[in-house]
Structure 1
Amino acid sequence: MSSSQFELTDPPRDAISALKFAPNDANKLLVSSWDRNVYLYDTHDGESGRLTRTFEHPAPVLDVCFGQDDNEAFTAGLDWNVRRINLETGELEFLSSHTAGVKSVAYSSTTKLLISGSWDCTLHVHSLSDDRSAHTTCTVPLPSKPFSISMTPTKVVVAMANRAVYIYDLKSLALLCSHANSTDNTQNIVEIEPLQRRESAMKFMTRAIACMPNDSGWAASTIEGRIAVEWFDPSETSQARKYAFKCHRQTVDGVDVVYPVNALAFHPIHGTFVSGGGDGVVAVWDGVAKRRIRQYQRFPTSVAALAFSANGKYLAVAVSPGFEDGKEDPEGVVKVFIRELGESETKGKASK
């Protein structure tokens, strides 16, 4: 299979904050935007996909994820609230309210936990019932603001300000939340010890974090053109494997220009990962072999978000003007591209 790429029709009107493929349908894509909407696309309806539905929110939406199936989604945003969307009926259901903007939301299908991270320095852990008729919520205090959250089947990794990284065990969080008797949308504040506390190996602010699909580690990126690769195993041998490297940099008139690495995503099958930067470049990396596999042509503006489909056949790339563009009007620059990947396009060295 050879690779091909096309641009989705009817993109958001303002900067894109996140995009996610459905867990089962590789043609179903959710996109959240600062224009206060979440967009649902059928990416392969016609030559340029089709916008099938729009879900309006009271404030800019900062993150979106799918839930237990392809018809359930969750959102977080600047109205401080976490919501569930029924993608079939369009119904928006309130789940909880933080006391500041909510930056991240992530769902675990193994534990049926929804975790939201807010600039109020807390996580809300929502334990959802199978029939979606009830849920309990508990609040986990954090030492600083969470910037990015990523999950494996057993863990959630929270990257925060002050270079702090906390790793929590999902089963422990589920057990904790099951004892939280919160039936009136009040949140019980609970203290839970992280599985591990880490300090980022990088000196600058974490921009994005993404976990390896094999549950062995994660990659993190910064505003200063660097990516770090780390492993969960705390043993000395395993920790000796962690490393960081420079990327998303250009030489302009003899000067090294450094761009933020805004987005990371791991391939669900091959375990390689992609990075997207303020330079408008998407690169594919083999984290184990410590090498870049390929770099795609430059996109029209800053890469804001990346996502692989669950079957690994498609890569979604969202571009939006960032601070590095020097532009305030995103009209005509906000776009979503769908790339159909070639058979070996994202395979690492060991997979060839």
Structure 2
Amino acid sequence: MNANNPYKQQARDVEISQPPPDSVSELAFSSKANYLAASSWDNEVRIWEIQSNGTSMGKASFAHQAPALCCAWSQDGTKVVSGGADKAGRMFDLGTGQSSQIAQHDAPIRCIKFVEAANASPIVATAGWDKMLKYWDLRQQTPIGTVTLPERAYAMDCSNPLLVVATAERKVVIFDMTSPTTPFETVDSPLKWQTRAVSCFVKKDGYAIGSIEGRVGIQYIDPKMKTSNFSFKCHRDTKVPINTAVYSVNSIAHHPVYGTFATASNDGSFVFWDKDSKHRIAAHTDIGGPVISSAFSGDGKLFAYAIGYDWSQGYMGNTSNVKNTIMLHAVIDSEVKPKAR
């Protein structure tokens, strides 16, 4: 094991320079270049440039007035947006180096995404614990559309024209962005426990949803495809009694080229899956701490994952055994490429 890598990550995985001192809430890669953003519970959003040899360099940072809970990149890779417990949405422009407030809710903003179609004017969607979904034209100070959600927003993803918002009480609200303020469908999660993560398929015909109970649901939008829906167990330790061996699925990230996906969990692992063949492709385990968030780079050659205490055991469980950090994993085809049928 690499002596400079004491937290059990694979020896070839590289720790990012100057990681956040507190837990990461979300990781996001630019689709245009190897720039990585991370929102953190220390109120900061940080941006790194990743070099071809895996080394990283801090590029910029900006702050909320309370924990930063989410972040996302613009399609052209020039802007980072974030939402926070200060009820504000903020935007950082890499060209000018300036940050500004772009959104406001009545409760913390838990989810933020750019949702416009290709080559359209940038539109940002924010979803919060005030049970509201709001759309913002960056040229205006008031929302251009609002939707009342059935409950507090916990997770959201968009691959235009598909937008999926997962809320408390296991509700999932699906939107066709040709009619962004009218839900296309509101359904119950196929999973029995609280939702933690959601990610749209690369083909935009459905989504994967993960819960605190170590399950993932594969859900198609087209009624003709709904017979292909299924759920599966993951991130469970069969070596101990089942009531102590279930771990939350904290993050789901789809590979931008192959359409396979990664799940990351409190059990200190991330796993690559192929939904079409219902097959686990590769697993990386015993990382040394909960994996809180993850993201693929725009070309799919890098996989970033954040390690840190997830607070599932409360204040007493916050020991110094887990370091808050972000690791970069060089992806090889055999880990993410679907197997031949």
Fold conserved between structures, TM > 0.5: yes
SS in 1 for 2:183: coil
Q: CA deviation at 1:330?
A: 6.1
Q: Does 1:345 align with 2:332?
A: no
2:306 counterpart letter in structure 1: A
1:101 counterpart letter in structure 2: P
Q: Does 1:44 align with 2:44?
A: no
The two structures have a TM-score, normalised by structure 2, of 0.89
Unaligned runs of 5+ in 2: 1-10
Q: Does 1:247 align with 2:234?
A: yes
Instruction: Supply the distance in 1 between the matched residues of 2:172 and 2:312 (Cα, whole angstroms).
Output: 26
Percent of aligned pairs with the same residue? 30
Q: In the superposition, relative to structure 1, how do residues 304 and 330 fare at CA in structure 2: closer, same or farther (>3 Å)?
A: farther
SS in 2 for 1:344: helix
Q: CA deviation at 1:48?
A: 3.3
Instruction: Supply the distance in 2 between the matched residues of 1:65 and 1:47 (Cα, whole angstroms).
Output: 22
SS in 2 for 1:345: helix
Q: CA deviation at 1:340?
A: 1.2
Instruction: Supply the distance in 1 between the matched residues of 2:175 and 2:278 (Cα, whole angstroms).
Output: 27
The C-alpha deviation readout for 1:135-193, integer Å capped at 9, x for no partner, is: 651321111111100111211001111211111111222xxxxxxxxxxxxxxxxxx43
Instruction: Supply the distance in 1 between the matched residues of 2:154 and 2:258 (Cα, whole angstroms).
Output: 26
The C-alpha deviation readout for 1:286-317, integer Å capped at 9, x for no partner, is: 11111111101322210111101111111111
Pairing of 1:63-212 with structure 2 (within 5 A): 63-110=70-117, 111=120, 112-128=122-138, 133-134=139-140, 136-137=142-143, 138-173=145-180, 192-212=181-201
Pairing of 1:308-347 with structure 2 (within 5 A): 308-324=296-312, 327-328=317-318, 333-347=323-337
Pick aligned residue for 2:268 from 268, 274, 280: 280
Q: CA deviation at 1:70?
A: 2.0
Q: CA contact under 8 A between 1:14 and 1:331: conserved in structure 2?
A: no
Q: CA contact under 8 A between 2:237 and 2:246: conserved in structure 1?
A: yes
Q: CA deviation at 1:328?
A: 2.6
Pick aligned residue for 1:7 from 12, 15, 30: 15
Which residue pairs with 2:253 in the alignment?
265
Q: Does 1:32 align with 2:19?
A: no
Q: What is the root-mean-square deviation in Å for CA atoms of aligned residues? A: 2.0
Unaligned runs of 5+ in 1: 174-191
Q: CA contact under 8 A between 2:24 and 2:39: conserved in structure 1?
A: yes
Query: How many residues end up aligned between the 2 structures?
Result: 324
Instruction: Supply the distance in 2 between the matched residues of 1:214 and 1:257 (Cα, whole angstroms).
Output: 33
The two structures have a TM-score, normalised by structure 1, of 0.87
Instruction: Supply the distance in 1 between the matched residues of 2:311 and 2:284 (Cα, whole angstroms).
Output: 22
Q: In the superposition, relative to structure 1, how do residues 331 and 278 fare at CA in structure 2: closer, same or farther (>3 Å)?
A: closer
Q: Does 1:214 align with 2:224?
A: no
Q: CA contact under 8 A between 2:308 and 2:322: conserved in structure 1?
A: no
Q: Does 1:19 align with 2:6?
A: no
Q: CA deviation at 1:55?
A: 1.3
1:301 counterpart letter in structure 2: G
Instruction: Supply the distance in 2 between the matched residues of 1:54 and 1:330 (Cα, whole angstroms).
Output: 26
Q: CA deviation at 1:120?
A: 0.3
SS in 2 for 1:264: strand
SS in 2 for 1:41: strand
Instruction: Supply the distance in 1 between the matched residues of 2:78 and 2:233 (Cα, whole angstroms).
Output: 39
Q: In the superposition, relative to structure 1, how do residues 240 and 332 fare at CA in structure 2: closer, same or farther (>3 Å)?
A: closer
SS in 1 for 2:268: coil
Instruction: Supply the distance in 2 between the matched residues of 1:155 and 1:135 (Cα, whole angstroms).
Output: 25
2:22 counterpart letter in structure 1: D
Q: CA contact under 8 A between 1:319 and 1:335: conserved in structure 2?
A: yes
The C-alpha deviation readout for 1:190-231, integer Å capped at 9, x for no partner, is: xx4311122111110110000001111110000011100010
Which ranges of 4 or more aligned residues in structure 1 deviate by more than 3 Å?
A: 45-48, 133-136, 251-256, 324-327, 329-332
SS in 1 for 2:31: coil
Instruction: Supply the distance in 2 between the matched residues of 1:332 and 1:240 (Cα, whole angstroms).
Output: 42
Instruction: Supply the distance in 2 between the matched residues of 1:304 and 1:65 (Cα, whole angstroms).
Output: 16
